[in-house]
Structure 1
Amino acid sequence: MQERQQISDVDHDRSLSPDGIRLMQSSDGLGWEGFVVRTYEEPAAMELWRVPDTTALTLILVVRGVLHMEQRRLDGPWTNYVVRTGDLFLRPPGRAPYELRWTASEPTRTVHIHIDRSLVLRTAASLYRGDPSQIEVIEQVGLQDALLTQLGLHLGAALEHATPADGIYAQSALQLLVTHLIRYHAATRNDTSDPTGGLTRQQLQRVVEFAQAHLDQAITLEALAQQTGYSPYHFARLFRQSVGMSPYQFVLRQRLERAQQLLHETEHPLLEIARDCGFANQSHMTRIFRQQLGTTPRAYRRLRENIAGM
């Protein structure tokens, strides 16, 4: 309960800030144990906002608006993003404070879900052997994940006419959300933070650029390894140490993310998108969507269209 109170205090300070961030709805007082859900209206422009650290795992869903955003660690260089309706932010607990600034054509709406670390640890323990504290959700900006988007929308909508009975529904949705995060958006600490055992940043960049430039083709382990100068065996081991997944899983995720982008930004036929992203055929793409996102490409496209029309 102490951790939950810290979640409330951090976000309550934010809702009262003079920056124009307005709290719309909140699950405070509804008896939802282990997590807090709030919806906000964000101003169209933010000159500078310092985001405090938190003990909670935080997921933020943009439900309305397009933001041209910059983010940096304190006194560090700025990184630019374009964040659209349906995009997500993931912030693990224990992250250092950072700064944001953004512009948008209109005020934006967001759903914030703050999850107690104890719930994350219990879920990790049920999914993996070993020490669950070594499992860490990967920090991400502008993430696209159809299942997380659906769950975020449902939890936000549950606040509109919430009753005590809705707590069971919300808890079930939250458990599915955390399970999905740990399965598909997490890695072990040893895989993500070992400074001596992985590839260099330059090597990783070459691998990423090569993969993204050849997604419409078959990408072999040998071709990826050539970008680093290592043998395929050593490359596969070092790559996993660096990014927390195998080269095969990485390429598959790149294909999936490219397909999500094309489904959102174009009206290309599904067969054409499957080909351009390197899937064997449309059925193969559909199977991967079901496995990784819990939905089909056609349903994902409809969801993005519905969100854009909100």
Structure 2
Amino acid sequence: MTPLNQLQVFKSMHDSPHARLEHSAHLGDGLAAALWNNRHDARDYEATTHHTLSCYIADGTGTFRRDQPARKGSPDKLCIMPAGAPSHWVVNGSIRLAHLYISEEQFALGCVRLLDREPRELQLQEATFLDDPEQAQRFRQLITLNWDEPGERLLTSTLAHAIFDHAVLSQVGLRKGLRLKGGLAAHQRRQLSEYIESHLDQALSLGELAALCNLSEYHFARMFRESFGLPPHQYLLARRLATACQLLRSGNLPLGDVALHCGFASASHFSNRFRQALGATPGAYRAAFRR
């Protein structure tokens, strides 16, 4: 994921002389989190390249959007700021709030995985001061964890995924007036998803996947990215890691068997890829869920 100091919402808060960063961390899989305090401030977010989910933890009763001055925040209120949607905020008094930053690539994966829809068809719907007690409780659990301690950081990542999944399932709608060009047909996308899931333990090649759609490798790779939101090799790696996480959380397979089941050439290759994505080894991840 983009470094935190290059995420527009994070950078805008960090550049404010009034805002104070309590904690921040990359959580893997295109997710990052931050906990802020702010007081007597004004913040503008323009053309962001990432999505931001926000939850007010304390105060915030003097916070409002400039275009909606009559509506004020309060603890447990949620805000959804989609990528590309500008918003302008005024903070009167104090506020403590948590942010979850989501990459466009992770959003695309969520659309395919949870909704079985092409990401280009969908958009995260903007919301201001949304009431969702279940989601607010997840944010409150998130900030109680120590994001720097390896075991708790893994739990934080899992909780962040739960927050993201809930947002995709409840706050995503169709883009208006969109006419899609290019990309794979719906039945091809579904066939590929099912084929990849059932062959994760095998060495899948670009040519093999392209042949399923009767396309050249070049055209297949371009159309796959248009329909899935990321290249075939990145999608395949994401699905292998997600399956590995599920096996590590719920089973007792030796790590070498988990690696082979998910299509990694060796336990060391699996461990390196896993650590790059989640910031810890597979063994540490399993241990975190057995505490």
TM-score range for the pair, normalised by the shorter chain length: 0.5 to 0.7
Matched, 1:54 2:48: yes
Deviations 1:180-204 (A, max 9, x none): 11111111113xx58xxxxxxxxxx
Matched residue, 2:151: 165
Deviations 1:11-40 (A, max 9, x none): 13522322x111111115xx6341111111
Aligned residues of 1:59 and 1:114 also touching (Cα < 8 A): yes
Aligned residues of 1:4 and 1:35 also touching (Cα < 8 A): no
Aligned-residue offset at 1:5: 5.2
**Correspondence for 1:64 among 46, 58, 66:** 58
Aligned residues of 1:58 and 1:93 also touching (Cα < 8 A): yes
Separation (CA, whole Å) in 1 of partners of 2:162 and 2:169: 11
Aligned residues of 2:8 and 2:49 also touching (Cα < 8 A): no
Matched residue, 2:89: 100
Matched residue, 1:109: 96
2:140 is paired with a residue whose SS is helix
Q: Which amino acid aligns with 2:33?
A: V
Deviations 1:193-232 (A, max 9, x none): 58xxxxxxxxxxxxxxxxxxxxxxxxxxxxxxxxxxxxxx
Aligned residues of 1:121 and 1:132 also touching (Cα < 8 A): yes
Deviations 1:105-163 (A, max 9, x none): xx22111111112111111101223312222121111111112111111222224x631
Separation (CA, whole Å) in 1 of partners of 2:122 and 2:8: 26
Q: Which amino acid aligns with 1:187?
A: G
Counterpart mapping for 1:1-310 below 5 A:
1=1, 3-4=2-3, 7-8=6-7, 10-18=9-17, 20-28=18-26, 32-43=28-39, 45-46=40-41, 48-72=42-66, 77-96=67-86, 98-104=87-93, 107-159=94-146, 162-190=148-176
Separation (CA, whole Å) in 2 of partners of 1:188 and 1:89: 19
Aligned residues of 1:89 and 1:140 also touching (Cα < 8 A): yes
Q: Cα distance 1:14–1:66, how it changes in 2: closer, same or farther (>3 A)? A: closer
Q: Which amino acid aligns with 1:83?
A: G
Aligned residues of 1:56 and 1:115 also touching (Cα < 8 A): yes
Q: How many residues align structurally?
A: 178
Q: Which amino acid aligns with 1:165?
A: G
Q: Cα distance 1:99–1:187, how it changes in 2: closer, same or farther (>3 A)? A: same
TM-score by length of 1: 0.52
Separation (CA, whole Å) in 1 of partners of 2:102 and 2:117: 22
Q: Cα distance 1:182–1:83, how it changes in 2: closer, same or farther (>3 A)? A: same
Aligned residues of 1:138 and 1:185 also touching (Cα < 8 A): yes
Separation (CA, whole Å) in 2 of partners of 1:127 and 1:63: 28
* Unmatched runs of 5 consecutive residues or more in structure 1: 195-310
* Unmatched runs of 5 consecutive residues or more in structure 2: 179-291
RMSD over aligned CA atoms reads 2.3
TM-score by length of 2: 0.55
Aligned residues of 1:37 and 1:155 also touching (Cα < 8 A): no
2:143 is paired with a residue whose SS is helix
Aligned residues of 1:37 and 1:114 also touching (Cα < 8 A): yes
Q: Which amino acid aligns with 1:153?
A: R
Q: Cα distance 1:145–1:78, how it changes in 2: closer, same or farther (>3 A)? A: closer
2:134 is paired with a residue whose SS is helix
Q: Cα distance 1:69–1:83, how it changes in 2: closer, same or farther (>3 A)? A: same
Q: Which amino acid aligns with 1:122?
A: L
Aligned residues of 1:90 and 1:141 also touching (Cα < 8 A): yes
Deviations 1:211-259 (A, max 9, x none): xxxxxxxxxxxxxxxxxxxxxxxxxxxxxxxxxxxxxxxxxxxxxxxxx
1:181 is paired with a residue whose SS is helix
Q: Which amino acid aligns with 1:42?
A: N
Percent identity between matched residues is 16
Q: Cα distance 1:8–1:124, how it changes in 2: closer, same or farther (>3 A)? A: same
